Amino acid sequence: MFITKRQKEIYQYLKDHIRDKGYAPSIAEIGKQFKLSSPATVHKHLVHLESKGLILKHQHLSRAIEIVDERSIDVSPREYTVLGHIVAGKPIEVLENREVMSFLPDPGNTNVFVLRVKGNSMIEDHIKDGDYVIVEKRDSANNGETVVALLENERATLKRFYKEADGVRLQPANPNMSPIFLRQGDFKIQGVVIGVMRKF
């Protein structure tokens, strides 16, 4: 389960508001609390929380937000250092930095790292420039999975993985960009993408 720090804050605000007043805050109240001028942005956060099973929204009813039974849900965020940038267009070296992201990992799956995406070669897979990809550390992948592949032990790239008769194909999700064909031994899989985060 992955939610951003802001979504965690909104979730906590919903809990506190319902506990203290007996009903959920309105979209406008949530926006005011977090200085979000666009109701659409608030709505996106709520949709994400509902998709993760943390809240339940009743359509067409004002303030109709319920907190799902949280006894089985660990909502304590964990902090992960963003290891660097990965270009989704052309391979580059992974750049070191100290940016920290706070999110909720899948229960029992903490063997992950985070990279920030540069470029739009994976745009048709809804991975955009500036997004963060959550990567499970693995040294193998299945056909069609999006991988972080290390080339020549120096450069990393983000592509879909496909096995070919004489090697592998790293396929961008952008019709304007060409795939990368490699022989076994010319690359190393660092991990498989299991989630994407976007800051609003």
The pLDDT value recorded for residue 80 is 64
**Which pLDDT band holds residue 71 (cuts at 50, 70, 90)?**
very low
CATH architecture of 5-71: Orthogonal Bundle (1.10)
Mean confidence (pLDDT) of the chain = 80
Higher pLDDT, 44 or 98: 44
Is 96's pLDDT higher than 80?
A: no
May I ask the CATH class of domain 80-197? mainly beta
Domain spans in the chain, listed from the N-terminal domain onward: 5-71, 80-197
Token representation of residue 160: 């879909």
Residues 6+ apart with CB under 8 A from 31: 37, 38, 39, 41, 42
Residue 14 has what pLDDT? 92
One fold for 5-71 and 80-197: no
User: What DSSP string describes 116-146?
Assistant: EEESSTTGGGT--TT-EEEEEE-S---TT-E
pTM of the model: 0.57
Rounded distance between C-alpha atoms, residue 194 and residue 184, angstroms? 24
Q: Is the pLDDT of residue 23 over 80?
A: yes
- Catalytic residue annotation: 121, 159
